[in-house]
């Protein structure tokens, strides 16, 4: 029996090694840093539906010269994350790229989480003559036919903070399953490997939420004595998460040691915990400055924070990838993935004053150098890399 167990263990290890080797040697992935492949494209820590194949846009030439007309088919506008992403687009990106002579206008639509509406809006944007479309946080499969429609018209589609499974989409985000794993594991360690944890998901059915939730559960499972006491959907919105957590705690008055929550909902969770009077509960904190301020002045709230989707940096990263593609730089892969950024309390205290406000709706900006936007990082994902801001007609 012991010999058989060893043989099975060896076979499993060889199978994993073979999977890793085949992934590292896959076309496209073999063109980027092997260390990044091992960390961010490792199949053992990657959403199995995440598209990581060769990009269909490697030899793309934009149908029009700049300045380009861009469509932003947003799926939702009702939380602080979306507001921060929109602020970056309207007040930083649009003025900058207009002044560079590379942008004529950005046409913005909102579908309010209605897939049928977003499908119609995407097709209308194509018919209105946009040169590219940006999406955010969408259903991974529902929009694929619209992506195909756009591709047939020579319009590439770029999705940030999540992925589409269409072979014609270009995706950029953190590796959400890896990020969720780090967050779940950190919570398990925070609790000493034992306790009951409530999991607050984002918007179930979206790739970013489902991938991260899968990772969170795997991270919590690294400690056998951690029990998932329940799960609610916070919808990435503070008000929604606050109400859902309040209802859950009211109907589950027993022991609760920790709450793992997806941004942008941690401030709502913190308010729900405060109102319950159960201040001993550890709460995971993401990028909302109000929540970070509470951690800044309550060090025992958690040990470390992971930045998973800083809105300004996410928007800038996707825009950079889109502009490089329109310029003919040739993306190598369907998905450009970045690493979650770990933040310690010491680092937070150095960057945030003690008189900060828990009521601010703003978000922490990680910065391009730490969020995949640096030239050195992004260049390796393109066949003909160049500074996109220096492009000439």
* pLDDT at 23 (0 to 100): 46
Q: What digits encode the pLDDT tens for the residues 293-322?
A: 999 999 989 999 999 999 999 999 999 999
Look-up: residue for tokens 């319950």? 276
- For residue 170, the surrounding DSSP H or E stretch is strand 169-174
Stretch 176-193: mean pLDDT, rounded?
A: 97
Handedness of CA 174, 176, 180, 181 (dihedral sign): negative
- Which residue would you say has higher pLDDT here, 2 or 380? 380
Comparing 26 with 310, which gets the higher pLDDT? Answer: 310
Neighbours of 11 (CB within 10 A): 10
The Cα 7–Cα 23 span in angstroms is 24
Cβ atoms 174, 215 nearer than 8 A: no
CATH for the stretch 68-173+310-338+371-384: 3.40.50.2300
Reported pTM: 0.89
Strands (E), 253-392: 258-261, 282-283, 304-307, 335-338, 341-344
Question: In this predicted model, what pLDDT tens digit does every residue of 132-177 receive, in sequence order?
Answer: 999 987 788 999 999 999 999 999 999 998 899 999 999 999 999 9
Query: Class assignment of domain 176-307?
Result: alpha beta
Inform me whether the pLDDT recorded for 3 exceeds 60.
no
HSE-CB of 340 using CA atoms within 13 angstroms: 22
CA Rg value for the chain: 21
């Amino acid at each position: 029996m012991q010999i058989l167990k060893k043989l099975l263990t060896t076979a499993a290890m060889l199978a994993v090694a073979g999977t890793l080797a085949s992934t590292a040697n896959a076309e496209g992935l073999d063109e980027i840093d092997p260390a990044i492949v091992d960390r961010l494209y490792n199949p053992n820590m990657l959403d199995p539906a995440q598209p990581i194949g060769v990009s269909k846009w490697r030899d793309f030439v934009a149908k029009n010269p700049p300045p380009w007309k861009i469509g932003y088919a947003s799926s939702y506008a009702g939380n602080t994350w979306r507001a921060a992403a929109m602020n970056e687009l309207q007040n930083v990106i649009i003025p900058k790229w207009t002044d560079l002579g590379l942008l004529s206008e950005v046409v913005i639509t909102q579908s309010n989480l209605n897939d049928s509406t977003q499908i119609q809006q995407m097709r209308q944007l194509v018919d209105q003559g946009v040169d590219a479309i940006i999406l955010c946080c969408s259903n991974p499969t529902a929009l694929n036919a619209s992506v195909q429609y756009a591709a047939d018209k020579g319009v590439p589609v770029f999705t940030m903070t999540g992925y589409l499974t269409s072979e014609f989409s270009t995706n950029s985000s953190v590796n959400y399953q890896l990020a969720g794993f780090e967050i779940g594991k950190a919570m398990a360690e925070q609790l000493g490997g034992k306790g009951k944890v409530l999991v607050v998901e984002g918007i179930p059915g979206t790739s970013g939420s489902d991938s991260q939730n899968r990772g969170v559960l795997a991270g919590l499972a690294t400690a056998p004595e951690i029990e998932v006491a329940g799960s609610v959907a916070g919808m990435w919105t503070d008000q929604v998460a606050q109400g859902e957590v309040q209802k859950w705690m009211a109907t589950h008055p027993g022991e609760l040691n920790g709450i793992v929550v997806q941004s942008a909902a941690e401030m709502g969770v913190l308010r729900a915990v405060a109102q319950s009077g159960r201040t001993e509960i550890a709460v995971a904190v993401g990028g909302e400055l109000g929540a970070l301020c509470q951690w800044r002045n309550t060090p025992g709230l958690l040990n470390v924070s992971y930045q998973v989707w800083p809105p300004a940096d996410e928007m800038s990263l996707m825009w950079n990838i889109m502009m490089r593609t329109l310029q003919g730089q040739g993306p190598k892969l369907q998905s450009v993935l970045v690493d979650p950024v770990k933040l310690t309390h010491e680092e937070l205290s150095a960057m945030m004053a003690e008189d900060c406000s828990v009521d601010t709706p703003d978000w922490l900006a990680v910065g391009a150098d730490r969020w995949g936007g640096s030239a050195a990082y992004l260049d390796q994902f393109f066949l003909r890399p160049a500074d996109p801001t220096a492009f000439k007609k």
